[in-house]
Each structure stands twice: as structure tokens, then as C-alpha cells.
Structure 1
Amino acid sequence: MKKNKKRLVVGLTGGIAAGKSLILNQLKKLNWETISCDAISKKLFYRKDILSRITKKFKTCERKKIAKIIFSDKKQKSALERILLPEVLKELRKKISEFKKNGSGCMAVETPLLFELGLEDYFDLIITVYCPEEFQISRIHERDGISASEAKKRISSQIPISKKIFISDFVIDNSGEVKGIKKKLKNILDKINKKSKIIKNIKQFESVHSQKVTLNQKNMNE
């Protein structure tokens, strides 16, 4: 972990529909600064100049239609990324830079493509959230109303979760109940706090004595 006495920037990543937003919301309740790259992307999508380029390229501005196109055609996916990603990363760098310069305490950044985009150096440590693929498929189907085969295409568009787990500082298995997930997150925050003494409000977190904690402490022991 990078030494930083005043502030800590945590990257939060994982598979599609693995539960990253759940963890981000829990950290927000602890008064962490939080950023969602998905939220940034959605906001930028509708910026006039970007929306014009997207509409010109895909002949539609409907996000669901575009999603179906890009997850069926890698070239089209790359085309959308060339339009959106530079602006998303520009905004992300700006927000992190402002926090490191003027902020204090902790910031969590939900970044689905953290490893795919090589953003590891943006963060002091990385937490990966995962769940079994059948859970992902069910959640994607329920959330987006797409078929299992379409859900699998979206899952396979990312780096395999096993690789993400291997190179993360901590991992959270989000296949259980919410109270179990909270317990797992609290254990991770305890470990971080022992190392950095930066999480001032750790005692506010709800303590639930259930579920086994799954942790990858590889980098914390260095």
C-alpha cells in the first residue's frame, strides 16, 4: 500500500452485477467520498457534443439499443469507448486529484473496468467484489431484462474475475445476504485501519457476527 497519512483512495471493482454499488453505498454511509464511474459515464453520454457523436455513429441515442450492439460486436464496443472513455478518465482524474489535494479521510471509486484500463496506479489499494456467474446472470436479467446468453456476453467482455481476484488487495464474496456482506466489509476496513489508522469512523459500522470473511491480504503484508 502507498503511504499516505492524510487520505486514502480505494478502487472498487469486480464483475458486472456483482454488487459493487452495494459496497459503495455502505462506504458512503461511513462518510467516505464516493465516485461511480458508471454515473460519470451516464452523465457524459448525454452531454451535447458526445451524444451527437454517438448518435452519428450508432444511428440511435437509446442506451439499451447501443448496449445490445456493442456487446455483440467488439469493433462497435471499441468505437463507443473511443468516444466516451477519454472524457470519463479526464473527469475521474480531476475528481481524484482534487481529493488528494484538498480532501481528507477516505475516497472509494467504483470502477468496473479498473484492470481493463490499467488504472491500478490511481489507487492506494483495490477491493474486488465478486459472486458466482449464475448470480450475475440472474441479476443482469432482472435489472436489464436481457436473456442469459446476452448476459454471458457482457460478463465475458471483461477480464476473468479469477485474474481480478489474484491482483487485488482484498476481495468480497457477494453471494450471501446483505448483513453478511456488511460483516465482510467491516473486517476489511479493520485490516486497512490497522495499517493506516485513517478510518476515523470505523466503529460506526454495524457489527454482524455471521458469514465467513473472504480476504486476499497479499499486498497488505508487504
Structure 2
Amino acid sequence: MKWIGLTGGIGCGKSTVSRMLRDRGYNVIDADEVAREVVRGGTSGLKAIVQEFGDVLLPDGDLDRRKLGQIVFGNPDRLQALEAITHPLIRKEIARRRQTLEDMNTPLALYDIPLLFETHAQANFDKIVVVSCTRNQQKERLLRRNQLSESEIDMRIASQIPIASKETEADFVLQNNRDEQHLLKEVERLDQWLKSL
């Protein structure tokens, strides 16, 4: 099975591209979705986070992502502590899902992984696709969709490798820097490229 890494910067529209690929019948495993699952209420992942970071829970017992984000973004040591808890759990679940797809003789699957380059995972993939846009577009999109301050957004963008660096290591760069019609054309171009693999 061809294993394709799909990545980009925060706010570049990778989730939208993932959704469009799913609509076209592609198998896409979403790292963010898995990351949420491994720290759901009652999981060993959530218990380990509370043990490490203290009271980072919402009144209903779920993880308060914003509160945790304020602790770890801009603090490399705390971010590393969080990743030491979550990354092994995420890797285990991804491996299970990938094996299921392989057992079904799936010819190609994509792994939507925001921190592909940050976690030095390039060697794990047959090909890498980067969804790209400008830094200003990243900020605009994040301001629209999140209840984050501009400084929180700047910290999150700064915690990732710059998009230009990711583009140089990509096998395919999808530009999400215009309107939805342009994005549809870019996804069509990606679709053709994936079919050629």
C-alpha cells in the first residue's frame, strides 16, 4: 500500500483538503482526530496529561485544549512533555488503522499529519503532499475559526517549521492561497497525481 503523508502549516486548509479527498473516495487517516481520541475522558492518555500538567480539564471532565495550549505553546520543554505522552499513543493507533487498510488490500492511503516534518517522520512515507498558503492567510483563517488571540496564533505558527521549508521537501505542493474554486482545481490536480502513483 502506498502511504502518503499530507501536511502543511496550521491554518493552511489541510483539513479541508482531507475532506475533499475523502469525498473523492480516498482513505484518509487524520492525526488530529486520533490525537483527540487518545485523550478522551477516561483514557490513560488524559490521566497522564492531568498528572503532568495539573488541572487542565473542563467542568465536564474533558480536556481543556485552550488551557493546555496556553501552557505548552511558546514553552518547548512543556510541549515536549506533552508530546512524550501523546505521540506514542497516537503512533500505536495509527499503526492499527494502517494495518486494517493494508489487510483490506487498499492500494493507497493518506495520513493527515500536521507535524510530519516537526516529528522527522519523512522516511515513513512513500510520498509527501504539502498544503500551502501565505502567513497572512494562516493568521486570517485562525482568527476566523478559533477563539485565539493574535499572540497565541503567532506562537502556534512559530512552533512549526516554516511552510517554505516544508515545500522544498514535498513531492507535491498544493496551493490553497486563493478562493474555493481555485482550491477545487488544486485538489483535482492532486487527485490526478495520486492516481498516477
State whether TM-score is above 0.5. Answer: yes
User: Do structure 1's residue 13 and structure 2's residue 15 form an aligned pair?
Assistant: no
Q: 1:178 to 1:17 in 2, by over 3 A?
A: same
TM-score (norm 1): 0.80
Q: Which residue does the alignment assign to 1:139?
A: 141
1:123-134 to structure 2, matched below 5 A, reads 123-134=125-136
Structure 1 contact 33–107 (Cα < 8 Å) conserved: yes
TM-score (norm 2): 0.89
Q: Aligned partner of 1:141: which letter?
A: L
1:1-222 to structure 2, matched below 5 A, reads 7-46=1-40, 47-59=42-54, 60-61=56-57, 62-194=64-196, 196=197
Q: Aligned partner of 2:144: which letter?
A: E
Query: 1:66, 1:165 → 2: CA distance?
Result: 30
Identical counterparts, % of pairs: 29
Looking at both structures, which has the greater relative contact order when contacts are Cα pairs under 8 Å and sequence separation is at least 6? 2
Structure 2 contact 21–187 (Cα < 8 Å) conserved: no
Query: 5+ residue gaps in structure 2?
Result: 58-63
Q: Which residue does the alignment assign to 1:203?
A: none
Q: 1:72 to 1:116 in 2, by over 3 A?
A: closer
Query: 2:3, 2:51 → 1: CA distance?
Result: 37
Rg larger in structure: 1
Query: 5+ residue gaps in structure 1?
Result: 1-6, 197-222
Query: 1:191, 1:164 → 2: CA distance?
Result: 19
Shift of 1:173: 1.3
Structure 1 contact 130–173 (Cα < 8 Å) conserved: yes
Shift of 1:54: 0.9
Runs of 4+ with deviation above 4 angstroms: none
Cα-to-partner distance string for 1:9-54 (whole Å, 9 max, x where unaligned): 2211000011001111111011111111000001111252221111
Query: 2:164, 2:49 → 1: CA distance?
Result: 33
Q: How many residues align?
A: 189
Structure 1 contact 27–108 (Cα < 8 Å) conserved: no
Cα-to-partner distance string for 1:183-202 (whole Å, 9 max, x where unaligned): 112123223433x3xxxxxx
Q: Which residue does the alignment assign to 2:61?
A: none
